[in-house]
Amino acid sequence: MRFSDILGQEKPLNIINAYMEKSCFSGGYIFSGPEGIGKKTVAKIIAQKLNCTSSDKPCGTCSSCLKTEKLQHPDLHIIESDAAQIKIEDIRSLQREANFRPYEGVIKVFIIDEAHRLNPEAANSLLKILEEPPKDSLIILITHKPQNIFKTILSRCKVIRFSPLAISVLEDVLVKDYSLDRFCAHFISFYAEGRLGFALKLKDSGIFEEKNRVFDSFALSDKPLDRNLLGHNKEQLRSFLNIMASWFRDIYLLKAGIADKQLIHLDRKNDLLKLKLEFSFKQLDGILSAISESMFYLEHNVNSKLLLHNLGAQLWKV
| Residues lying near Zn ion in the complex (CB under 5 A) | 52, 54, 59, 62, 65
Q: Is the dihedral of CA 91, 96, 102, 105 positive or negative?
A: negative
Residue 20, Cα to own-chain centre: how many angstroms?
26
Looking at the Cβ atoms of 17 and 95, the one nearer to Zn ion is: 17
Per-residue DSSP letter, 31: E
Residue 56 Cβ, how far from Zn ion at the closest point, in Å?
8
Per-residue DSSP letter, 23: T
Alpha helices in 7-51 (DSSP H): 10-21, 39-51
Residue 21 Cβ, how far from Zn ion at the closest point, in Å?
18
Looking at the Cβ atoms of 62 and 107, the one nearer to Zn ion is: 62
Q: Smallest Cα–Cα separation from 75: which of 110, 112, 41?
A: 110
Looking at the Cβ atoms of 2 and 305, the one nearer to Zn ion is: 2
Are 112 and 125 a contacting pair, CB within 8 Å? no
Residue 52 Cβ, how far from Zn ion at the closest point, in Å?
3
Proportion of the chain in helix, strand, coil states, percent, rounded to 5: 60, 10, 35
Q: Give the count of beta carbons closer than 10 Å to the beta carbon of residue 147.
A: 8
Looking at the Cβ atoms of 65 and 214, the one nearer to Zn ion is: 65
Looking at the Cβ atoms of 50 and 230, the one nearer to Zn ion is: 50
Residues 6+ apart with CB under 8 A from 116: 143, 144, 145, 146, 147, 148, 149
Looking at the Cβ atoms of 52 and 118, the one nearer to Zn ion is: 52
Looking at the Cβ atoms of 108 and 156, the one nearer to Zn ion is: 108
Residue 13 Cβ, how far from Zn ion at the closest point, in Å?
19
Residue 187 Cβ, how far from Zn ion at the closest point, in Å?
39
Pairwise CA distance, residues 11 & 161, whole Å: 8
Residue 58 Cβ, how far from Zn ion at the closest point, in Å?
5
Q: Give the count of beta carbons closer than 10 Å to the beta carbon of residue 299.
A: 10
Give 23: exposed, middle or buried? Use CB within 10 Å, 0-12, 13-18, 19+: exposed
Residue 50 Cβ, how far from Zn ion at the closest point, in Å?
10
